[in-house]
Structure 1
Amino acid sequence: MPRSDRFLTVDGTELHYADWGDPSDPPVLCVHGLSRNGRDFDPLARVLEDEYRVLCPDMPGRGWSEWADDPATLYGDAAMVETLVGFCDELGLETVRYVGTSMGGGLGMALAGGAMPDRISHLVVNDISPNPAEDATPAAMARIMEYVPDPPTFETVTAMEAYMRELYEGRFSGMSDEEWRRLTLTSARRTDDGRVTAAYDPRILEGEDSEDAPDPWDVWAVIDAELLIVRGTDSDILPAEPYERMLETQPDAETVEVDCGHAPSLNVPAQIEPIREFFAE
């Protein structure tokens, strides 16, 4: 079935999500990275939709989902975990397979190890450690803090595409010219003065979490779902040391390594087929 664009409201916030496949098939929930959106999973969803219903929400403040009046209350990890629980509740999803890229992977760990331990059967963690604030390289964190709060604006979409290539090429795994164009179009919005910029709220880093939140490594340790870790071999968000620690803590986790930085794009058979096979287990 073709992709459907749908909306639902969770705790007063309207969420947009791409809905692929037959609603009667087992659900797969795909959650994107920090400043990205659910359309990043188009290539994966096109393959999985023959067997699964694939749901790809835009998290609050991204894509076509509603922006927060107060970013502190909606953009923190704990709030986004609650949003995802509400999303699954609203759609009546009792058990899901889950794919999370970067931030989405961290949210998946929090769900599988805490908020929804009995509802996530399979968890794919794409290039993120349990505690990226401490595990990522200083250069990676500095890069995020520089570009996310102040996305540039452009006169044209083609100028934004050139910027996207400069920002992500060499970090994302390889994409065709057509894929770069799709990534740009699904990542863009017009500003009030008609310029083009990234389709997210620049305040997304202003979310706040409780100081008594559990240690994320403890959360990783108690996850009982089937696990698959996808990693870019040159990733500065999931360097070698925390990656090895993840495997030591969860020795039964399966792995896929991709020759790229942060993060594998999940857009080619070499990355998609291991996920499809993993979900069939």
Structure 2
Amino acid sequence: MLSIIICSANPDLLSEVSRNIDETVGIPYEIVAIDNRVNPKGICEVYNRGAANSKYDYLCFVHEDVKFATSNWGAKLVEALRRPEIGLVGIAGAAHKPKIMSGWGAEGLRERFVKINLVQHFKREQREPIHQYFNTEGESLARVVVVDGVFLASRKSVILEIPFDEAYLRGFHGYDIDISLAIGEKYQVAVLLDIRLEHFSEGSLDAEWVASSWKVHEKWAHKLPKTVVPITKRERINCEKRTYRHIIRILKENGAYGLAWKVLHRGELMQLNKLTYLKMYYSYAKGYLGSFRRT
């Protein structure tokens, strides 16, 4: 009934998640684990190969450093995927995707726009796990624009029709926003809030993430921003502004601050509020000149 596709780089983690899946999934399943340690391929290529090799009609693409904390989660997932209007399901996502370069989260819009049921553990920091649960409307299945790549589920027919873009994205970042927007052209994208997942790493916003994210936003610039719930102009401005401040920090950390002007220009702040745009431009220019003084 459910094919669970895993891009694996750690046999111990794969063994642990396989045991956890067997104890919790609650329906007939198979694990399609692709060893990506030798001659590694990009995750889009791996996921497409896994989908092609799967035997069931419903597919779940999941990282191997996770633990399912909900019993019989497979039945809940299949029930959602049986709805013909649904094309992609995640366990974390946002109902608004700003035009500006960003991750899946809607910065500055957490209350009403972010849908998530995830326990986040921290591998690189001495911090206690955080259970992130945002569901202001009390929904079981909440419609969103984009979902996080830690857990993606769809019907096999949908993935064969709209596969991961392995020709364009050859690494391990950006695939979640890309597949969300691609499938969202024809089907609805949703977060299933009845499944709780534990994730044992924070992800890495490194130079590869910057490059992949920029490519994704170049590809989808003509379709963004996109939202599936009512949003005010003030909320859109706040999201663009907060997202830009967040992205500037990431660019600085990765020695890519020169991209900050292009990121700002590609957003919609200029059209939404010129004064806010100029403030963000001043912030960028100040940081750019400061980098010369330090060298």
Task: Tell me if TM exceeds 0.5.
Answer: no
- TM-score of the pair, normalised by structure 2: 0.28
